[in-house]
Structure 1
Amino acid sequence: MSEPGPRAAWWRIMDLRLGMVPVPVAIVGVAVTAAFVWLGAPPSDILMNIVVLAVGGFFCAEIGKRTPGLKNLGLAAILATFLPSYLVYAHLLPGSLVKSITAFTDNSNFLYLFIAAIIVGSILGMDRRVLIAGFVKIFVPLAIGSVVACAVGCAVGTALGLGLSHTFFKVVAPIMAGGVGEGAIPLTIGYANFSHQPQGELFAQVLPAVMLGSLTAILFAGALNAVGKRYPHLTGEGRLQPGEQDDEPFATPDAERAPVTPADVGAALVMAVTLYLVGALAQKLWNWPGPVVMLALAVLMKFGHVASPRLERGAFANFQFFSQAVTYPLLFAIGAAKTPWEKLIGAFNLPTLTTIVVTVATLMGTGFVVARFVRLYPIDAAIVNACHSGQGGTGDVAILTAGNRMQLMPFAQIATRIGGAIMVTLTLVLFARLGAGG
């Protein structure tokens, strides 16, 4: 019985964590990755990238969480996204490893697996009685915030010498267009068609506004999370409305509170992925936004009692797993594969930077104020509005992570997808009518 001394000491070492990764495992993982890089071609499969992204993502997050003064402002999410972007730019990450991460991120649909699990799990874990009211109410601060942010952002940009046309079409509208793939790309394709300018040049002009707008929203979301800790009456800590609570499957006694089984979790994950595929098919056939279709189907399932309590518990367990274990690795992948550092720093001039910050602050501030009139929590509504200025689905993940409110993902997707689509449509109509090219 005297044997457990050294063994207990070793177990304590094994229980030291880098995020969720045991430190000895992280050390071995780094060594193995370095060996693959030395051999010339790290695999781009899921096995290699689980190790690389987990170690990289949680390492960046731990730096952010341990930085005095800034750890409560979303620095973990910022570093997990933008530090790998800089490392790629500075050639501090081996090129072969970057290719592996990029190939895996592009080919695996990693991001949409995450979003499917988060959306379906959070909706099925919501209070059914207030779900529909929340979806209706969130359009009020979102719509009013968008209009006010456009007006204030254009006024500031024009006053600083950017010109009204440039400010709206190249700075303000791209911020709220829904990210890169769903926003900046269709926006600049439309600009190119109407103005006969090269789409690539136009895309390079609007991309910094998209990225810096998302970064600003991440910072403000982190700050609002800190405000919520100090003034708890302003926030539902991830719940949008007063009185919202967990639904029956998580509150009922006896058999309904039985532990979630691996079979329940697996069944719920297949269900979430199937809903995503239905959305993807709708996008292919009728050009309906796939994530919005998935979201609507999940809401209908919740509202119509389609999923059993076991499936709902399994879906909620998936939500908890993905939000805690997958977020920072995903952000690391996004930073390394989809966030060009040179584009981010391309807009670092005072007039553009000021216009971006003022636009995002107005969007969130208006949401904060208007929320009180429709009985929503001000901080949570403001963070949903922040997602309207995010970098698409990737921005939603980073903003909600910084604000510690991943439960708001369904509402964030409304802000990003529906709000972004409306912004792109109205902007292109205005661009065509004005013949804007500058």
Structure 2
Amino acid sequence: MKTLKETKILGFPLWMFLILAALMMVMAANDWMLTNMVGALAFAMVVGTLLGWVGDHIPVWKTWFGGGMLFACLVAGAFNTFNLIGEGSKEALNTFNGTTGFLDLYILILITGSVLSVDRKMLLKSFVGYIPTILAGIVGALALAGVVGAVTGVGAIEAITGYAIPVMGGGNGAGIQPMSKMWAAATGGDASTWYASAFAIISIGNLVAVIMSALLNKLGNAHPSLTGNGQLMKGMENAKASTAEEYKPTVADYATGLALGVVCYNVANLYSKHISIINNHLDLGFSIHTFAFMVILIAILNISNILPENVKAGAKGMQQFFVKYMSFPLMITVGIGTNLSDYAKVFTNPAYILIIAATVIGAMIGTFLMGKLFGFYPVEGMLTAGLCMANGGGSGDVQCLGAAHRMELMSYAQISSRIGGAIMLVVASFFFGKFL
């Protein structure tokens, strides 16, 4: 009881924070909440943080099932599934995450801070081996899914085209949506039929990936030699950019880091939408996502060494702030767009669950083997190049890295989701055209 009295959440005494959360729940349930950014942020900050705090204190769950990150997301899904909050409130949260760009802001802040906090030479060295590691993960995922599909009677081709490819596809918008059109073109069927099934499949795949991320964190705690504690490559733990570590950022520097991140994202978006030869002049059947160009742009700024110390430190400080205080609120806005019934659809046949799990595990095996050749730590290599390929895209990256307590790996996670997702569109096009 004494511990509860001393507990504070976001600086508030627990009793006071519970009152704030109750107020927001009552307003949301009755659709009295503001339906703009202010209402959405208030609900996400208070209710999301409370749910995250609860999830981080549930025995077993906090250790093995993603803790507060997954708990907040699933409870938000329950809010949506059982209509525990009003339609206007749900729409406000969905809009805040999507159109308003809260998820984009969160990811770009983490990319900016994480890339600028790594030594320039080590950053370049790690990127060289990363794409081959992703490719090895894809091979491992498709191969193991095919084997399990053949053993369970589903069929190797069906397991690969209907399950493994969606899981590894990089999420919804840049993954299964264009894949559904490829499937329709190859089979003459209705794209929405394949899409509906694929959406349920990637939801389960994302859940498996989050659970495996938590297990990797546990593995790293039990065997310290297998993890760099948030650093991908051996040697990087001693080669962080000294500027971000030695210079103590001021409040003004935080604003500087924020400004750098949002401007660079705008530049990356301009390049992606209007300049990129791949996206705008070559008909390859896929495009490279803005976040992939964002990672490259920030990496160039780091490697060129043109940014002052206070800018790098400010970007790192903003990253730490968002990881600590904005992760749980983000999970509310992510989860509110899901329906728990989507998970139930796939549980009709245990073989489907086995194939999905095999896909995720195969990605981990492939990235483990290839990552060893490039000196990647097993935990960080499997987490980023493997599980961040097998999750639900950008929001899945946040969930997986959060469950593993390694948010500083966001730049690598985005390469997996974005560039790896584009690679999967090519893979899907080949398999659909060849075997369906």
TM-score (normalised: structure 2): 0.90
Match of 2:339 in 1: 340
Question: Are 2:277 and 1:278 aligned?
Answer: no
Q: Which amino acid aligns with 2:38?
A: L
Q: CA deviation at 1:19?
A: 6.1
Match of 1:112 in 2: 104
Q: Does the CA contact (< 8 Å) of 1:18 and 1:55 recur in 2?
A: no
Structure 2 CA distance for partners of 1:41 and 1:240, relative to 1, 3 Å: same
Match of 2:411 in 1: 410
Question: Are 2:53 and 1:59 aligned?
Answer: no
Q: In the alignment, which of 241, 244, 261 is matched to residue 247 of structure 1?
A: 241
Q: Deviations over 1:172-201 (max 9, x none)?
A: 001111111110101001112232222211
> Following the alignment from structure 1 to structure 2, what is the Cα–Cα distance between the partners of residues 26 and 336?
22
> Following the alignment from structure 2 to structure 1, what is the Cα–Cα distance between the partners of residues 12 and 332?
15
3-state DSSP of counterpart to 2:326:
helix
Larger mean Cα displacement after TM superposition, 224-233 or 79-88: 79-88
Q: In the alignment, which of 35, 41, 45 is matched to residue 50 of structure 1?
A: 41
Match of 2:140 in 1: 148
Identity of aligned residues (%): 26
Q: CA deviation at 1:129?
A: 2.2
Q: Deviations over 1:18-37 (max 9, x none)?
A: 36665355334334435644
Q: Deviations over 1:88-138 (max 9, x none)?
A: 112223333222212322321110000110001111111222001111122
Q: Which amino acid aligns with 1:106?
A: G
> Following the alignment from structure 1 to structure 2, what is the Cα–Cα distance between the partners of residues 383 and 106?
25
Match of 2:357 in 1: 357
Extract unaligned runs of 5+ from structure 1.
1-11
Match of 2:284 in 1: none
> Following the alignment from structure 1 to structure 2, what is the Cα–Cα distance between the partners of residues 127 and 280?
26
Q: CA deviation at 1:38?
A: 7.1
> Following the alignment from structure 2 to structure 1, what is the Cα–Cα distance between the partners of residues 154 and 324?
42
Q: How does 1:7-406 map to 2 (within 5 A)?
A: 16-18=7-9, 22-34=13-25, 36-37=27-28, 40-73=31-64, 74-244=66-236, 245-252=239-246, 257=247, 259-285=248-274, 286=276, 287=279, 288-337=288-337, 339-348=338-347, 349-384=349-384, 385-406=386-407
3-state DSSP of counterpart to 1:108:
coil
Q: Does the CA contact (< 8 Å) of 1:279 and 1:289 recur in 2?
A: no
Q: CA deviation at 1:251?
A: 4.7
Q: CA deviation at 1:44?
A: 2.2
Structure 2 CA distance for partners of 1:90 and 1:173, relative to 1, 3 Å: same
Pairwise CA RMSD: 2.0
Q: Which amino acid aligns with 1:346?
A: K
Structure 2 CA distance for partners of 1:414 and 1:80, relative to 1, 3 Å: same
Q: Which amino acid aligns with 2:339?
A: P
Q: Which amino acid aligns with 2:341?
A: E
> Following the alignment from structure 1 to structure 2, what is the Cα–Cα distance between the partners of residues 55 and 298?
32
Larger mean Cα displacement after TM superposition, 65-74 or 413-422: 65-74
Structure 2 CA distance for partners of 1:213 and 1:395, relative to 1, 3 Å: same
> Following the alignment from structure 2 to structure 1, what is the Cα–Cα distance between the partners of residues 79 and 333?
12
TM-score (normalised: structure 1): 0.90
> Following the alignment from structure 1 to structure 2, what is the Cα–Cα distance between the partners of residues 83 and 39?
18
Q: Does the CA contact (< 8 Å) of 2:31 and 2:89 recur in 1?
A: no
Match of 1:5 in 2: none
Q: CA deviation at 1:55?
A: 2.2
> Following the alignment from structure 1 to structure 2, what is the Cα–Cα distance between the partners of residues 290 and 72?
34
> Following the alignment from structure 2 to structure 1, what is the Cα–Cα distance between the partners of residues 101 and 12?
23
> Following the alignment from structure 2 to structure 1, what is the Cα–Cα distance between the partners of residues 92 and 269?
26
Larger mean Cα displacement after TM superposition, 59-68 or 287-296: 59-68
Q: CA deviation at 1:46?
A: 2.5
Structure 2 CA distance for partners of 1:194 and 1:37, relative to 1, 3 Å: same
Q: Does the CA contact (< 8 Å) of 1:134 and 1:241 recur in 2?
A: yes
Q: CA deviation at 1:382?
A: 0.8
> Following the alignment from structure 1 to structure 2, what is the Cα–Cα distance between the partners of residues 80 and 431?
36
Q: CA deviation at 1:214?
A: 1.0
Q: Does the CA contact (< 8 Å) of 1:44 and 1:104 recur in 2?
A: no
> Following the alignment from structure 1 to structure 2, what is the Cα–Cα distance between the partners of residues 141 and 40?
48
Structure 2 CA distance for partners of 1:93 and 1:21, relative to 1, 3 Å: farther
Structure 2 CA distance for partners of 1:381 and 1:200, relative to 1, 3 Å: same
Structure 2 CA distance for partners of 1:46 and 1:432, relative to 1, 3 Å: same
Match of 2:283 in 1: none
Structure 2 CA distance for partners of 1:35 and 1:355, relative to 1, 3 Å: closer
Q: CA deviation at 1:295?
A: 0.7
> Following the alignment from structure 1 to structure 2, what is the Cα–Cα distance between the partners of residues 364 and 292?
22
> Following the alignment from structure 1 to structure 2, what is the Cα–Cα distance between the partners of residues 239 and 104?
32
Q: Does the CA contact (< 8 Å) of 1:20 and 1:325 recur in 2?
A: no
Q: Does the CA contact (< 8 Å) of 2:170 and 2:391 recur in 1?
A: yes
> Following the alignment from structure 1 to structure 2, what is the Cα–Cα distance between the partners of residues 424 and 20?
46
> Following the alignment from structure 2 to structure 1, what is the Cα–Cα distance between the partners of residues 256 and 117?
16
3-state DSSP of counterpart to 2:249:
coil
Q: Which amino acid aligns with 1:27?
A: L
